[in-house]
């Protein structure tokens, strides 16, 4: 069932929202905030390379009652569909979560992300939001496999 839902999301976005963006800016930066149990929670910075690949790193930490928790991760995603109103990417994500007196938990996942601009049709020079579905998510220490999700908001420039 999980694979079926993921497949429907990808097929729908590729067929309905794909548009010609040959005149669009091909290489640009992305900066914002991401919440993800796989590839990190915190400030994110990335680079879109030639309109085909998205590289992104995310990291953050929280300190409370003499304890610190941290999270950081990396994404390397390939654009499956890149239109003016909708983008879909697919690729690996890797993340590490830990803290004071805690073992580091590492996760590796295949991620599918969908991003839409908030204002207008273009992703470049615009605030965008996205959702990420991580399936399968492989928990390296325990060997468990699960489904997780994340959300993000970025400014592309």
- Which is nearest to 6 in space by CA: 95, 105, 109? 109
Structural contact between residues 51 and 66, judged by C-beta atoms closer than 8 angstroms? no
The Cα–Cα gap between 13 and 97 comes to 31
Could you tell me which CATH number the domain at 2-18+25-156 has? 2.40.160.20
Place of tokens 């999700």: 149
Is 35 in contact with 43 (CB distance < 8 Å)?
A: no
The span from the CA of 28 to the CA of 156, in Å, is 7
pLDDT in tens, 104-151: 999 999 999 999 999 887 888 999 999 999 999 999 989 999 999 999
Q: What are 121-134's pLDDT values in tens digits?
A: 788 899 999 999 99
For the record, the structure tokens of 151 come out as 């959300």
């Amino acid at each position: 069932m999980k694979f079926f839902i993921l497949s429907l999301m990808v097929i729908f976005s590729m067929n309905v929202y794909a548009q010609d963006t040959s005149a669009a800016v091909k290489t640009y930066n992305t900066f914002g905030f991401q919440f993800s149990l796989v590839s990190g929670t915190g400030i994110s910075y990335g680079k879109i390379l030639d309109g085909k690949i998205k590289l992104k790193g995310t990291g953050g930490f929280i300190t409370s009652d003499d304890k610190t928790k941290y999270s950081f991760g990396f994404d390397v995603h390939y654009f499956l569909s890149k239109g003016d109103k909708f983008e879909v990417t697919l690729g690996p994500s890797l993340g590490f979560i830990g803290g004071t007196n805690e073992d580091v938990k590492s996760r590796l996942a295949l991620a599918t992300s969908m991003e839409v601009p908030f204002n207008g049709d273009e992703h470049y020079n615009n605030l965008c939001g996205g959702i990420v579905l991580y399936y399968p998510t492989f928990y390296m220490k325990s060997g468990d496999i699960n489904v997780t999700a994340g959300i993000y908001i970025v400014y592309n420039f």
